[in-house]
């Protein structure tokens, strides 16, 4: 019996120590290098944090947690100028040092500096605000996690974007639209009385990468969240997040005055409607004094909006903005719009509707624009609204959850996608006016700036479903803070904090991450193809989708394959979507010779036998891209298998199985698309490539009625 109990204890102990991904990138495990620990201890002999506010107590707890975990000891507390001093610039202890702090530091920026004072070495962490100190504390811990030197530090960091937001598409019933990591974090049934520890760890993770706002509810909004029964629950979450510098926002259903206000109309120019929104906003601020404001999806995909009453988007946004203005709240009005009338080209509609409204919005309205003009496709050209609106603040909406990029089974690092968009020159304010500079206001002079990421965070133990999906949450936060960071630098940070500091292993995983997005584009939508995923659930290939109640909800609408060729003509001889871009891009996108091939079929209908720059015909190049994508996943499998000795067994096995699924899905995409498009090209698959092992009819017969993350039916 004793042996059995001992064995059970060992099993339980092993389970308790197993790596399950819950700690994300905040793994404060003991550093193995004793020499390195000794160096850190010289810089961190003691800790002084004057004050007892909730945020300062969080800083104290986080530093003690991190340093005790990584270095094996807690610095002794002190009240003097020794060791590490963490205090705002206005405290006497910092002022006594006569430090020069850049006046442009901002309210959230921080300074970490190594100095010598009265013959003693000090490490000073200072900021204008306590939230700045919190961000700086996480940065200091990151330096130790990634085994950087603490000597001769002179770091000053401030966010380039004011509002750095996670958008949760969480429903009040606990489901998550386009979520692939379990159910919603928010247990509305138990709130406000029960505060789950996950809420606190969620706040810690966000604060560690500078995210300062969260939208709790789905853009396909439910008006009930604005009722007192739910506002008290929202207030409980806001109380948890506040010391971490995170403000709460809600989605506002445009028809709420009718649905919960019992008014006969939601017309934004109706005086009773205006008053209803003012009263509702006043009520919200009684529950949440620092409430951030509303996100609104209106007149899109069946959602109600001002156009129901023959009003404009500006009319709708402004009535909410006026209600929020006395409390410094804002409206984030989404530009993802299309009505029940099918346009000649859906990618043109947002520009068509919003460009004439430039300057018509209140100062506390910011228009939320997706990174591309369609809908979070594996690759899109940047949205033409960026830079086109000169008088209206614009914010970015990225999708962190992988709705169109393999969902929870595919390893796809999205920082490269984010960077491709952010670094693209719009030319709208002259050469060099990149999308990033439009967003941060440096090109436009706007001061209300924001970046949102539609998140995939759920109740799965590792938060994101796929262990590597955590990297996209991390990368979004880092780029929202500083869009000038490279995707490779961010990847290295994340790998070192999440897996290991072993140099060769870091290099191997970083290479996997760096190549994964391009691989996904290759096996899904190469050469500018788009929106050929499964109907509704968007899982798997379905380029054959047609004959639905809306043409622009089908695949054939977008790829337009025929016996001549494939691709959507958006030049002047087609839909003329190119006209929505600056002249510099019009010239590039309209030219078959100048256009980057990654956008070729987005803007051009190209013949199957047309020769591309590499010498292959379009049909040959399309086949090779699909096959290359699947081969790239096979290479990722090989790389990961070789890393088995360097990665904890639990996560290695989990990722190994997921990569096997990804290879199966990449092969499925490859075979289904090549066989389908072959029915138009009438040409053989190049002889150097293996033939698909199943027929096109097999792939077309596949159905997935219970695929995760499906949009609820209203």
* Residue 113 in tokens: 């500096």
Q: Which of 403, 498, 530, 409 is nearest to 456 (CA)?
A: 403
305: DSSP letter: -
Q: Is 373 helix (H, G, I), strand (E, B) or coil?
A: coil
| Residue 197 appears among annotated catalytic residues | no
Q: Is 542 helix (H, G, I), strand (E, B) or coil?
A: coil
Q: Is 103 helix (H, G, I), strand (E, B) or coil?
A: helix
**CA dist., res. 605 & res. 528, Å (int):** 11
Are 304 and 265 within 8 A, CB to CB?
Answer: no
Q: Which of 522, 301, 494 is nearest to 415 (CA)?
A: 494
| Residue 353 appears among annotated catalytic residues | no
Residue from 267, 403, 631, 665 carrying the catalytic annotation: 403
| Residue 375 appears among annotated catalytic residues | yes
Are 538 and 404 within 8 A, CB to CB?
Answer: yes
Residue from 201, 301, 502, 650 carrying the catalytic annotation: 301
Q: Which residue has the tokens 């000649």?
A: 344
Burial classification of residue 239, based on how many CB atoms lie within 10 Å of its CB (0-12 exposed, 13-18 middle, 19 or more buried): middle
**Residues sharing a CB contact under 8 Å with residue 495, sequence separation 6 or more, in sequence order:** 505, 506, 509, 510, 513
* Residue 303 in tokens: 């959602």
Q: Which residue has the tokens 């919960």?
A: 260
Residue from 20, 375, 482, 502 carrying the catalytic annotation: 375
**Residues sharing a CB contact under 8 Å with residue 310, sequence separation 6 or more, in sequence order:** none
* Helix boundaries (H) for 560-707: 583-590, 600-603, 618-642, 649-681, 696-701
**CA dist., res. 554 & res. 547, Å (int):** 7
**Residues sharing a CB contact under 8 Å with residue 79, sequence separation 6 or more, in sequence order:** 48, 50
Helix (H) or strand (E) holding 296: strand 293-296
Packed helices 503-524 and 649-681: angle between N→C axes, nearest 10 degrees: 30
Q: Which of 668, 637, 630 is nearest to 655 (CA)?
A: 637
Burial classification of residue 85, based on how many CB atoms lie within 10 Å of its CB (0-12 exposed, 13-18 middle, 19 or more buried): buried
Active site residue ranges: 301, 375, 403
């Amino acid at each position: 019996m004793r042996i059995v109990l001992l064995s059970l204890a060992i099993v339980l102990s092993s389970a308790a120590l197993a790596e399950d991904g819950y700690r994300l990138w905040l793994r404060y495990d003991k550093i193995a290098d004793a020499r390195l620990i000794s160096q850190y201890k010289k810089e961190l002999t003691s800790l002084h944090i004057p004050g007892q506010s909730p945020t300062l107590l969080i800083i104290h707890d986080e530093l003690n947690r991190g340093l005790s975990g990584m270095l094996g000891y807690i610095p002794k507390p002190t009240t003097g100028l020794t060791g590490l001093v963490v205090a705002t610039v206005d405290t006497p202890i910092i002022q006594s040092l006569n430090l020069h702090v850049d006046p442009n530091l901002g309210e959230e920026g921080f300074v970490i500096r190594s100095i010598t004072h009265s013959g003693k070495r000090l490490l000073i962490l200072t900021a204008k605000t306590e939230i700045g100190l919190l961000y700086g504390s996480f940065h200091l811990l990151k330096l130790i996690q990634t085994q950087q030197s603490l000597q001769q530090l002179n770091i000053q960091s401030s966010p380039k974007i004011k509002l750095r937001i996670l958008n949760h598409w969480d429903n009040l019933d606990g489901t998550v639209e386009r979520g692939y990591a379990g159910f919603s974090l928010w247990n509305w049934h138990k709130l406000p009385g029960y505060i789950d520890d996950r809420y606190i760890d969620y706040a810690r993770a966000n604060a560690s990468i500078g995210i300062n706002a969260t939208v709790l509810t789905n853009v396909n909004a439910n008006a009930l969240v604005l009722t007192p029964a739910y506002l008290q629950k929202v207030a409980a979450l806001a109380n948890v997040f506040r010391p971490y510098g995170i403000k709460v926002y809600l989605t506002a259903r445009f028809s709420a005055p009718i649905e919960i206000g019992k008014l006969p109309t939601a017309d934004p120019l109706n005086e009773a409607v205006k008053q209803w929104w003012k009263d509702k906003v006043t009520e919200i601020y009684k529950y949440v004094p620092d409430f951030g404001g509303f996100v609104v999806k209106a007149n899109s995909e069946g959602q109600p909006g001002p156009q129901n009453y023959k009003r404009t988007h500006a009319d709708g946004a402004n009535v909410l903005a006026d209600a929020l203005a006395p409390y410094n709240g804002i409206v984030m009005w989404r530009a993802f719009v299309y009505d029940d009338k099918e346009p000649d080209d859906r990618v043109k509609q947002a520009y068509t509707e919003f460009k004439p409204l430039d300057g018509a919005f209140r100062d506390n309205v910011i228009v939320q624009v997706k990174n591309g003009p369609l809908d979070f496709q594996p690759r899109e050209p940047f949205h033409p609204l960026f830079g086109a609106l000169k008088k209206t603040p614009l914010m970015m909406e990225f999708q962190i959850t992988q709705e169109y990029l393999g969902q929870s089974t595919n390893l796809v690092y999205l920082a490269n996608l984010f960077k491709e968009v952010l670094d693209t020159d719009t030319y709208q304010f002259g050469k060099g006016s990149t999308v990033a500079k439009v967003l941060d206001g440096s090109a436009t002079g706007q001061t209300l700036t924001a970046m949102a990421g539609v998140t995939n965070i759920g109740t799965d133990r590792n938060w994101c479903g796929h262990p590597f999906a955590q990297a996209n949450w991390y990368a979004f936060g880092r780029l929202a803070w500083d869009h000038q960071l490279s995707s490779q630098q961010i990847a290295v940070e994340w790998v070192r904090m999440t897996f290991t500091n072993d140099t060769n292993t870091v290099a191997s995983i970083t290479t996997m991450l760096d190549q994964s997005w391009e691989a996904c584009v290759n096996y899904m939508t190469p050469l500018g193809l788009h929106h050929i995923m499964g109907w509704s659930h968007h899982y798997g290939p379905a380029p054959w989708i047609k004959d639905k109640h809306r043409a622009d909800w089908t695949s054939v609408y977008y790829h337009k394959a025929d016996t001549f060729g494939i691709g959507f003509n958006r030049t002047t001889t087609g839909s003329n979507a190119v006209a929505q871009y600056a002249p510099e891009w019009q010239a590039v996108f309209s030219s078959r010779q100048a256009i980057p091939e990654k956008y070729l079929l987005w803007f051009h209908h190209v013949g199957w036998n047309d020769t591309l720059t590499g010498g292959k015909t379009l049909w040959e190049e399309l086949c090779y891209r699909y096959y290359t994508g699947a081969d790239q996943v096979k290479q990722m499998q090989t790389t990961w298998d070789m890393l088995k000795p360097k990665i904890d067994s639990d996560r290695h096995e989990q990722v190994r199985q997921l990569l096997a699924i990804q290879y199966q899905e990449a092969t499925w995409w490859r075979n289904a698309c090549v066989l389908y498009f072959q029915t138009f090209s009438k040409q053989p698959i190049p002889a150097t490539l293996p033939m698909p092992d199943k027929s096109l009819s097999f792939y077309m017969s596949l159905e997935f009625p219970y695929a995760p993350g499906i949009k609820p039916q209203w």
